[in-house]
Amino acid sequence: MASNDAMNSQLNQKAFLGLRVWVVIGISVFAFIMVILIIFSIWLMSRRKIGMTHRSISHSKIPDISKEITVDRIAGNNLAHHLQEREGLSVSNHDKCNEKDYITTLGNLVSKSSDADNLSQCSSVYHEKAGSSYSGDEGSSGATQRPHSPYAGLVSASPLVGLPEFSHLGWGHWFTLRDLEYATSRFSRENVIGEGGYGVVYRGRLINGTEIAVKKLLNNMGQAEKEFRVEVEAIGHVRHKNLVRLLGYCVEGIHRMLVYEYVNNGNLEQWLHGAMRQHGVLSWDSRMKVILGTTKALAYLHEGIEPKVVHRDIKSSNILLDNEFNCKVSDFGLAKLLGSGKSYLTTRVMGTFGYVAPEYANTGMLNEKSDVYSFGVLLLEAVTGRDPVDYGRPASEVNLVEWIKFMVGSRRSEEVVDPSLEIKPSSKSLKLALLAALKCVDPDSTKRPKMSQVVRLLEAEDYPLREDRKTRRIQTPTNLEISVTDSPTSA
């Protein structure tokens, strides 16, 4: 009893700030427990964050994509309707379980981009619907008289500014399916701006007002997965003013979608052969501006980065235009990466009929010179306004490349110019364009120039013309002689 009374007496003594000893002991024990719990919580959170951001999963080589050479033009909105019916909006439990691992795997494919992109990342809910259907904004006068500054129309601020949180790949924005449904009015058919064997492209608008193009890949036995990885690997971290910018992606269940900047003035095919012709005929200067921008983009892909990127599907429908007729090369779903230790790859032949290099079509051996050939066909298409292969023409004119060689060899180069042009090009400009094109479509791939050389040729840096020497003879790789003159009259 005495000992208990003594203990009670000691505990009831005032120890600190007038508090009894037992109160001080209770507060100390409670504080100690809280500190331990806080430290343990912080440790768990840090471990979880490190696990999400730094897990490393080995990534196997991207398999080849099984497409045949084909002209991927599909009329109407049948594919968009089929895609909606086939995929729906349901997500399987198995897909949900594997999503995080898949995203981590993709993280090994790309490097981090600029800090501007990382200001605004991950998911958000959109409350604005997409605008009107895709169309040009100007008439014929705009097509022929707009200023041609090579830097016109570029946006200085990141299109991702204002979007929350962070990407799981270290670049761009991780959109949810709900985000993109709101942005595209639930993938409305009215917002379809393109479709083909790969899937459907929709126009949309982000919550910060940025217009986007959403490429929804068709889920076809893993095909969407393959093309998704190829495109992310090829240009996820690449920046060039003449390459369409990949802003982000959506990986959710069976859905694989890529989100690009929206380029608002159609594509070169539409201006040369399709719907955009109602706005006027694309002038010669505008065509050459588009061609020069395409040349610079390819020179960057082939010579400015490592590993180099072989596009494999250069054609007029993949050359997008803005309101100032600045071009942006798009659609990297067939691209291949070629390291410095390799001179070529052997792969399944893919591309679009009429643009594919002959040696690649015959052997499957691919390198950047295959892109050079496709570019040469594209340049001839811009000069003539004709399709690369047109079975509606006489037999001698069906193949554009062979017809051009015949016309130049017959000294009738002035006759190949697109007859719809209101203002014809000067003889000098036409001959330099034809010279560049014929060099690019040389049957011997080793004789084709690099794209950087084509840039200099089109800018007339390799062939300066002197006033005291108005005409010079240049031998083309097809043994056809082209006369380059200052005079606008025919040679």
Cα–Cα dist 142/205, whole Å: 25
313 is catalytic: yes
Cα–Cα dist 162/178, whole Å: 18
Q: Residue 325: left (phi > 0), alpha (psi -120 to 50), or beta?
A: left
Query: DSSP string covering 437-474, please?
Result: HHHHT-SSGGGSPPHHHHHHHHTTSSS--BTTB-EEEE
Nearest-Å Rg of the Cα atoms of the chain is 30
| Cα→Cα distances 472→145, 406, 468, Å | 31, 21, 11
**Which residues fall within 8 angstroms of residue 351, CB to CB, at 6 or more apart?**
69, 312, 313, 334, 360, 374
| Cα→Cα distances 122→3, 95, 163, Å | 66, 19, 7
| Partners of residue 250 on adjacent β-strands | 257
Length of the chain: 491
Amino acid at 230: V
Q: Which helix (H) or strand (E) holds 403?
A: helix 400-409
Kindly report the three-state secondary structure assignment for every residue of 234-262. HHCCCCCCCECCEEEEEEECCEEEEEEEC
226 is in an annotated binding site: no
Catalytic residue among 101, 117, 285, 313: 313
Pairing mode, if any, of strands 173-174 and 246-252? parallel
Tell me which DSSP letter residue 61 carries. Answer: P
Residue owning tokens 């069976």: 254
Instruction: List, by residue number, the catalytic residues.
Output: 313
Binding residues: 216
Residues annotated within a binding site for ATP: 216
